[in-house]
Structure 1
Amino acid sequence: MLGGAMALQPPSITILRMPAELPQPGESVTVSCEALSELPELTLLYWLENGFFVESLHPDGAVREGTVQEERQGSGLALRRDLHFSSFDKQHLHTNFTCVVLSPLGVDTREVRWPSQALAPVTGKSGGLG
């Protein structure tokens, strides 16, 4: 069978590695995004915050991207890029952080979903008698 260009798969995000528990304010937190691409040298892996490049919103580096790590995997290459929060802020829970992998073959995105207990604060309902 001849392997033509049609055989190449678009890139896909395989793993979004999150903290198991909700980060506490002030903690340093890392989220990892892993993607597979069959055209690694033409592939971009990056993070967006509310649709903007993270660096442009945080010149102080409070939220920053790590460098792209590459690892051979089968016929393609696994790419990984971390998103680092030097001091986690509650507002980050309501911010849309998106990992994007982009190549000439296509694009894939995955949104960060924080562990859910923080998004629904239990107020006044835990007393039992109300």
Structure 2
Amino acid sequence: MALQPPSITIVRTPAELPRPGESVTVSCEALSALPEFTLLYWLENGFFVESLHPDGAVREGTVQEGLQDSGGRTLHRDLHFSSFDNRYLHTNFTCVVLSPLGVDSREVRWPSPAPVTGKSGDLG
């Protein structure tokens, strides 16, 4: 059985568009057959997040590892925004997984703004 290249399985964003000043976390999960040789990291417009935010306003969490049924491992890493700024909506945040078997990446897609309706929704 050939080892598969790593792959991003999910990038989780908040269900609603973040508000300015809010503390926000985005999560990335990846699958790797060689977790001990795999890097999972975040880029902002192609640069390492920590190099652009030495103050920690945007920072990566630690990599967490879990088991996968197929024998590989899931890797999980969060991206934390201490005080969300609307400019981040127009910034390219990318989760990257890299191993000797290959590379995969996925961009953050922020949720669309909630539609404004004239009446409040009821639960029925």
Q: Report the TM-score, using the length of structure 1 for normalisation.
A: 0.85
> Which of these residues, 99, 102, 107, is aligned with residue 106 of structure 1?
102
> Which of these residues, 43, 46, 60, is aligned with residue 48 of structure 1?
43
1:95 equivalent in structure 2: 91
CA distance in structure 2 between the partners assigned to 1:117 and 1:87 by the alignment: 19
Q: Does 1:19 align with 2:7?
A: no
- 1:117 counterpart SS class: coil
What runs of 5+ residues in structure 2 fail to find an aligned partner?
A: 117-124
CA distance in structure 2 between the partners assigned to 1:11 and 1:22 by the alignment: 29
Q: Which letter does structure 1 place at the counterpart of 2:34? A: L
- 1:93 counterpart SS class: helix
Q: Which letter does structure 2 place at the counterpart of 1:55? A: E
Query: 1:56-75 residue pairs with structure 2 within 5 A?
Result: 56-74=51-69, 75=71
Note the C-alpha offset of 1:116. Answer: 2.0
1:126 equivalent in structure 2: none
What runs of 5+ residues in structure 1 fail to find an aligned partner?
A: 123-130
Aligned sequence identity (%): 84
Q: Report the TM-score, using the length of structure 2 for normalisation.
A: 0.89
